[in-house]
Amino acid sequence: MKLLFVIFLYFSFCSFLGWLIETSFRTIKDKKFVNSGFLYGPFVPIYGFAAIFIFLLDTFSYNLFLPARLIIFILIPTIIEYLTSFLFEKILNLRLWDYSDQRFNLHGRICLKFSIIWIFLVLADIFIVQKFIIVILNKLPISFLQISSTILFIYFTIDLFFTVKVYQNFILIIDKLKSFEFNKETNPKDIFINNPILLKLKDIFRPISAFPHLLVYVQDNIYNIFNILQDAVGNNIKSKSESVLNYLNDNEFSEIIKDIINNSEYQKLKTIHHHEHSIYNHSLHVAWLSYKIGKYIDKYTKIRIVDLTRGALLHDFFLYNWRKEKPPSGKLHAFEHPKEALKNAQCNFYPISKIEKDIILKHMWPLNLIPPRYIETLIVVIVDKLIASKELIIEYHNNNKIKRNKKKS
Give pLDDT, residue 183: 57
List Cβ neighbours of 278 (8 Å cut-off, separation of 6 or more): 269, 270, 271, 272
Residue 374 — very low, low, confident or very high, per pLDDT cuts 50/70/90? confident
Rounded Cα distance between 323 and 30, Å, is: 8
CB atoms under 10 Å from CB of 322, counted, come to 20
Give pLDDT, residue 276: 62
Rounded Cα distance between 181 and 225, Å, is: 9
Residue 9 — very low, low, confident or very high, per pLDDT cuts 50/70/90? very high
**For residues 66 and 37, is the Cβ–Cβ distance under 8 A?**
no
What percent of the chain clears pLDDT 70, i.e. is strictly above it?
Answer: 78
- Average pLDDT (154-165) is 93
- Average pLDDT (106-117) is 89
Nearest residue to 317 via CA among 337, 292, 332: 337
3-state secondary structure labels for all residues of 286-343: HHHHHHHHHHHHCCCCCCCHHHHHHHHHHCCCCCCCCCCCCCCCCCCHHHHHHHHHHH
Please work out, in degrees rounded to the nearest 5, the angle formed at the alpha carbon of residue 112 by the alpha carbons of 111 and 114.
75
Give pLDDT, residue 231: 55
- Is the preceding omega at residue 42 within 30 degrees of 0, hence cis? no
Cα–Cα distances in angstroms (integers) from residue 195 to residues 14, 116, 313, 344, in the given order: 41, 46, 29, 38
CB atoms under 10 Å from CB of 281, counted, come to 18
pTM for this model (two decimals): 0.61
Q: Per-residue pLDDT tens for 215-273?
A: 666 665 555 555 555 555 554 444 444 444 456 677 888 888 888 888 888 888 888 87
- In the three-class reduction of DSSP (H, G, I as helix; E, B as strand; rest coil), residue 269 is classed as helix
Q: Per-residue pLDDT tens for 52-108?
A: 998 888 777 666 677 777 888 888 999 999 999 998 888 877 888 888 878 888 888
- In the three-class reduction of DSSP (H, G, I as helix; E, B as strand; rest coil), residue 262 is classed as coil
Rounded Cα distance between 175 and 218, Å, is: 10
DSSP result, 108-140: TTEEHHHHHHHHHHHHHIIIIIHHHHHHHHHHS
- Average pLDDT (117-122) is 89
Residue 33 — very low, low, confident or very high, per pLDDT cuts 50/70/90? confident
- Average pLDDT (360-376) is 79
- In the three-class reduction of DSSP (H, G, I as helix; E, B as strand; rest coil), residue 203 is classed as helix
Nearest residue to 116 via CA among 167, 90, 158, 81: 81
**For residues 118 and 72, is the Cβ–Cβ distance under 8 A?**
no
Give pLDDT, residue 242: 42
Rounded Cα distance between 339 and 377, Å, is: 15
